[in-house]
Amino acid sequence: MKNATVLVVLGRTAKPADLEPLTQAARDRNLHLFVLILGVMPQIPIYTYGIGEGGTYSLPDGWQTEVHEASIALFKLRDQVSAYLTEQGTSAEVRVASGQPAILPAAVSRAALTCDLTVIGNDLRHDASVFDDVVRAALFRSAGGVMLNAMASAKALQPASVFLAWKAGIPSARAVHAAMPFMRDAGDVTVALFDPVMTSARDGENPGSDVAAWLTHQGCKVAVQQYPSGGEEIAKAIMQRFKETGGDLIVMGAYDHSRLREVVFGGTTRTMIEQSDCPVLLCH
């Protein structure tokens, strides 16, 4: 990926040095980093007295001070991150979005509309509900790919080996489109199919051959592998095979099943979002 704009979403516990793997790729690939720091503000603790027009409300002592201090800390982090990126010689801009948890996903999806890729920092995992909402907003309300666990590996934005977990369908096809710049530059691409169904209506009579032909025409070096899951959860099988191939980045479609079904019964997408060991690029 060259000459791209990458949205990097961080939380209040992030450190400027966390961005080092991204700054290296930004310099090598002429990337512009748009860093968005999210801050959850303290809830408004309104206590009401009376009913109707005669009712009044009051705020407890110290709440406004708490909000003010949280805001100062966010802008201090913004200045630190901005100074770090300048020192690294990286093209970047840094902004802050703060407020109640319900409004932060909208800020992320709005910023992602004019970016080629969204990278979500692992520090946001400290608040599971905010992390999940931000990931889903980026997946469902923006046009680009979403990359997780990228800042733990210097190779995530410059992968030498890409592991494409392919399942015929719109999410996987969109993931390939989003990851195409990475796959063109990679030394090899493994197209992996798990328990493929060899019918024309599902994975084809020769599963993986169609996507392999597409990627080969794009200049990618492709190998197709068909894996039996052996009854193991597909997400765990993906991560195991990814590590066996020595890959640098997993590419896959997200939420091929409904979100409600994944929430209730679990699923591949949910497990891949929750894991923090393997860099993964997702698209819906």
**Residues 2, 31: Cα–Cα separation, whole Å:** 6
First to last CA, the chain: 20
Identify the weakest region by mean pLDDT among 27-41, 198-212, 262-276.
Answer: 262-276
pTM tops 0.85: yes
What is 159-283's CATH superfamily?
HUPs (3.40.50.620)
pLDDT band at 258, cuts 50/70/90?
low
Q: Does 5-42+68-151 carry CATH code 3.40.50.620? A: yes
More confident residue, 46 or 73: 73
pLDDT band at 80, cuts 50/70/90?
very high
> What does the pLDDT look like over 25-51, one tens digit per residue?
999 999 999 999 999 988 776 654 545
Check whether 265 has a pLDDT greater than 50. no
pLDDT for the residue numbered 208: 93
- CA 50 to mean position of chain CA atoms: 47
Domain residue ranges of the chain, discontinuous segments joined by +? 5-42+68-151, 159-283
Instruction: Taking residues 263-276, report their average pLDDT.
Output: 81
Instruction: Taking residues 141-165, report their average pLDDT.
Output: 95
Do 5-42+68-151 and 159-283 agree at the fold level?
yes
**Residues 10, 122: Cα–Cα separation, whole Å:** 8
Dihedral of CA 267/269/273/278: which sign? positive
